[in-house]
Amino acid sequence: MNNDLSHLFSPFKIRDLEIPNRCVMPPMGCHLENKDASVSDANIAYISRQASGGIGLVITEIAAVHETGAIGMGVYDDRFVPGLTRMARAIHDGGAKAALQLHHAGRETYPGLKKGYALGPSALPSLVYGMAPKEMSLDEIRMIVESFGKAAVRAVDAGFDAVEIHGAHGYLLTQFMSAISNQRKDGYGGDFKSRARFVFEVVQEVRKSVGKNFPVLLRISAEEYIRNGYTVEDVQTILPDLVQAGVDVFHASVGTHGSPGGVTSAPPEFEQGWNVWRAKKCKEVVDVPVIAVGRFNDPRVADKFIAQGDADMIAFGRQQLADPDFLNKAKAGQYDQIRNCIACNQGCIERLMYEPGSSVRCAINPETGQELLYPRTPAKTKKKVWVIGAGPAGLTAAQEAARLGHDVSLFEKEDTAGGQILYASKAPSKQIYGDWIRWQIKQVEQMGVTIQTSTTITPEKLENANVDAVILAAGGDKIIPTIPGLDESIVCTAWQILGETVKPEKNVLVVGGGLIGMETADFLIDKGSKVTLVEMLPKSPVPNYTSHGYMLHKRLKQAECRFRFNSRLDSVGKNAVTLLVDGKPETLTDIHQVVLAVGMKPRAELKEYLANKKIEHYVVGDAQTVRRIIEATDEGAKAAWSL
């Protein structure tokens, strides 16, 4: 790939504001704020880290302009100014310019609402939370418009260099723009332009409040990305007038939280820069700069879009969370050192949306969101540590323990490190998981830790090891049920299929509709098999509201994968199986392969030994309870931090 970064790293000006380069950290709510919505020490630690890795412009997370729309940090009162001043200073100290994102969540406020009701253009339920807001009166509309202006003044007072009005993703401004949420009969409803009136008023108010020269950005979802939603062509009709109203820069995002598949923070199925064409469409109708966003990992790819003139600046969201230093690494030509975001959404957007009370993390970077916990100096006492198992948990533990100065030995019973990720990365669109685990392996090796593969640790080996501590990251074992006929030659496991030690056959029955079963079905279909998937629950345990789950369900449905719910495998015969469907037997013939994917259980063998011997030890990841990558990496890191 062409390593030219000259376009991306060229300075940029918005009005009189000089930005060192074209790289933007887009707003990312992190829920690290204090309970009273003010800026916390954790916020400062997080934003300092994010601002110091080479990014040119940091746009903060949402800051609520009014209490009725608050779902995180606030800017709706003067009491927030001291904290926000610290935040702006922290961004400047990192070398970046700072913009505050001004926000009102409208009907999406319900989860954060302490009292009263949420406000919205019409009393139509949120696509995310299902609850309807109160239709805003004209007085309430005026009140919120004015609150954007007052909030912008507080941003100026706090020392921010710019403000960004949040007009995207299905929050209040988008709710007005969208015919799905705005069915008003007054001057704020009607055709697209009339529905956008509220946005115009907010922009005008902010411009009036901050004066002529202060940079004002407007973030919009350039397309609503939902059936009967507004289009990019609709948006083009209002952009020139929005420039007249006071917008200096458009930030062209896409979709709402109600859009299918979480496209706003798109999964790996979407390639880097997939959304740039919408930024380009915006540029066609206005002369002001446009920021493009969407799945950017690689600064070289971003540079290309700037060079082509498709966008003026590029926002890197989740990539910043995965590796806040990635731009400096790219500048130094150290591409192989960059920890690339895998777009899993597990620690970031989906954690915030679906795990109430949680704050931002990154599934593959345990520092993110935990900057105050993250140890930065070597451990006081150097320990001899054995890490057992080189999956995500063990690799993270080994890297962190070595970074903190311990003497680390890492053991893996298989001939290749990587654990379950070696299988997880085989499903369509998940090769990126394999790239990550190979990067992780290299990082461990760079720390001077030799991964001793093909080495199974047993109690006997531990007996003579003379270690100070053990991190047990041995993962889980597949469950093999006891069902008549499982010794038939047509039976194999998901791991044999994904590990490609058994060839897929034509008509395949996959037993188990969890993630492993569904991904194995996806893999088999990709290889040309016809798949029936048997699941004893009444519906799939893989939720389709997560971006990964949505894409997986969609692909299997399109490929006509046959789901049999409320069904369990009763017996296997020669090219036939018997199921119990709602308790009644049913025979399926012409089955060429039966693939077992009925779950995993933690590997327990060494736990008891370590406890009995009173050796300092930590059981992490799937070895503790079978879960996900984020728990494995987090527990692996924390074990190392505790040594």
Ligand X SMILES: Cc1cc2nc3c(=O)[nH]c(=O)nc-3n(C[C@H](O)[C@H](O)[C@H](O)COP(=O)(O)O)c2cc1C
One of 10, 450, 456, 501 touching ligand FAD (CB under 6 A): 456
How many other C-beta atoms lie within 10 A of the C-beta of residue 211? 10
- What does each C-alpha distance from 3 to 6, 288, 289, 299, 322 come to in angstroms? 9, 28, 24, 9, 21
Helix and strand element counts for the chain (H, E):
21, 28
Q: Please enumerate in sequence order all residues whose Cβ is within 8 A of that of 84, keeping only pairs 6 or more positions apart, or say none.
A: 39, 63, 75, 100, 154, 155, 158, 160
Residues 479-508 that bind ligand FAD (CB under 6 A): 498
Could you tell me where the beta strands, DSSP code E, fall in 72-193?
A: 73-74, 97-103, 119-120, 134-135, 162-167
User: Is 415 buried (19+), middle (13-18) or exposed (0-12) by CB count in 10 A?
Assistant: exposed
Binds 394: which of ligand FAD, ligand X, none (CB < 5-8 Å by kind): ligand FAD
Q: Looking at the DSSP assignment, which residues form a beta bridge with residue 572?
A: 577
Helix (H, G, I), strand (E, B) or coil at 46: helix
Binds 348: which of ligand FAD, ligand X, none (CB < 5-8 Å by kind): ligand X
Residues 316-355 that bind ligand FAD (CB under 6 A): 346
When the beta carbons of 196 and 577 are compared against ligand X, the nearer one is 196
Q: Taking CB under 6 A as the rule, does residue 326 contact ligand X?
A: no
Q: Taking CB under 6 A as the rule, does residue 632 contact ligand FAD?
A: yes
Q: Cα–Cα–Cα angle for 585, 589, 594, nearest 5°? A: 90
Q: Taking CB under 6 A as the rule, does residue 411 contact ligand FAD?
A: yes
Q: Taking CB under 6 A as the rule, does residue 348 contact ligand X?
A: yes
Binds 318: which of ligand X, ligand FAD, none (CB < 5-8 Å by kind): ligand X
Q: Taking CB under 6 A as the rule, does residue 629 contact ligand FAD?
A: yes
Strands 600-602 and 476-478: antiparallel
Q: Closest Cα partner for 37 from 68, 75, 69?
A: 75
- What is the rounded CA–CA span in Å between residue 249 and residue 257? 23
Cα dihedral across residues 608, 610, 614, 616: positive or negative: negative
Q: Which residue in this structure is represented by tokens 């990192």?
A: 94
Considering CB under 6 A, how many residues would be counted as binding ligand X? 27
Binds 420: which of ligand X, ligand FAD, none (CB < 5-8 Å by kind): ligand FAD
CB of residue 272 to ligand X, shortest distance in Å? 9
Residues 254-273 that bind ligand X (CB under 6 A): 264-266
Q: Which residue in this structure is represented by tokens 């606030």?
A: 74
Q: Taking CB under 6 A as the rule, does residue 567 contact ligand FAD?
A: no
Q: Taking CB under 6 A as the rule, does residue 28 contact ligand X?
A: yes
Marked catalytic residue, from 46, 76, 171, 225: 171
Q: Closest Cα partner for 134 from 68, 193, 62?
A: 68
Binds 392: which of ligand FAD, ligand X, none (CB < 5-8 Å by kind): ligand FAD
Q: Taking CB under 6 A as the rule, does residue 548 contact ligand X?
A: no
- What is the rounded CA–CA span in Å between residue 498 and residue 430? 12
When the beta carbons of 324 and 636 are compared against ligand FAD, the nearer one is 636
Amino acid symbol at 129? Y
Contact indicator for 391, 421 with CB cutoff of 8 Å: yes
Q: Which residue in this structure is represented by tokens 């490190």?
A: 417
One of 22, 166, 430, 603 touching ligand X (CB under 6 A): 166
DSSP assignment of 117-132 = --EESSS---TTT---
What is the dihedral angle through the alpha carbons of 435, 437, 438, 439, rounded to the nearest 10 degrees? 80
Q: Which one of 161-169, 224-232, 536-544, 615-623 is the stretch in contact with ligand X (CB under 6 A)? A: 161-169
When the beta carbons of 94 and 475 are compared against ligand FAD, the nearer one is 475
- What is the rounded CA–CA span in Å between residue 179 and residue 167? 15
Q: Taking CB under 6 A as the rule, does residue 419 contact ligand FAD?
A: yes
Interface mask toward ligand X for 294-323; x: CB under 6 A: xxx-------------------xxxx----
DSSP assignment of 544-563 = SSSHHHHHHHHHHHHTT-EE
- What does each C-alpha distance from 211 to 51, 156, 202 come to in angstroms? 27, 10, 14
CB of residue 372 to ligand X, shortest distance in Å? 18
When the beta carbons of 349 and 471 are compared against ligand X, the nearer one is 349
Q: Which two tokens stand for residue 168?
A: 């995207």
One of 38, 43, 253, 567 touching ligand X (CB under 6 A): 253
Q: Which two tokens stand for residue 479?
A: 């469950």
Q: Which residue in this structure is represented by tokens 């939280």?
A: 257
Interface mask toward ligand X for 181-210; x: CB under 6 A: ------------------------------
CB of residue 401 to ligand FAD, shortest distance in Å? 14
C-alpha R_g of the chain? 26
171 an active-site residue?
A: yes
Q: Which two tokens stand for residue 270?
A: 């979407």
Q: Taking CB under 6 A as the rule, does residue 550 contact ligand FAD?
A: no
CB of residue 370 to ligand X, shortest distance in Å? 14
One of 92, 383, 607, 628 touching ligand FAD (CB under 6 A): 628
Amino acid symbol at 293? V
One of 56, 167, 394, 513 touching ligand FAD (CB under 6 A): 394
Residues 588-617 that bind ligand FAD (CB under 6 A): 603
Q: Taking CB under 6 A as the rule, does residue 68 contact ligand FAD?
A: no
Binds 268: which of ligand FAD, ligand X, none (CB < 5-8 Å by kind): none
Q: Which one of 86-94, 125-133, 252-260, 411-419 is the stretch in contact with ligand FAD (CB under 6 A)? A: 411-419
One of 326, 622, 639, 640 touching ligand FAD (CB under 6 A): 622
Contact indicator for 237, 265 with CB cutoff of 8 Å: no
CB of residue 591 to ligand FAD, shortest distance in Å? 22
Interface mask toward ligand X for 103-142; x: CB under 6 A: ----------------------------------------
Contact indicator for 491, 513 with CB cutoff of 8 Å: no
Contact indicator for 49, 62 with CB cutoff of 8 Å: no
Residues 372-391 that bind ligand FAD (CB under 6 A): 388-391
* Residues designated catalytic: 171
Q: Which positions lie near ligand FAD, rule CB under 6 A?
A: 346, 388-394, 411-414, 419-421, 423-424, 456-457, 473-476, 498, 515-516, 519, 548, 603, 621-623, 627-629, 632
Q: Which positions lie near ligand X, rule CB under 6 A?
A: 26-29, 61-62, 101, 166, 168-169, 219, 253, 264-266, 293-296, 316-319, 348-349, 352, 360
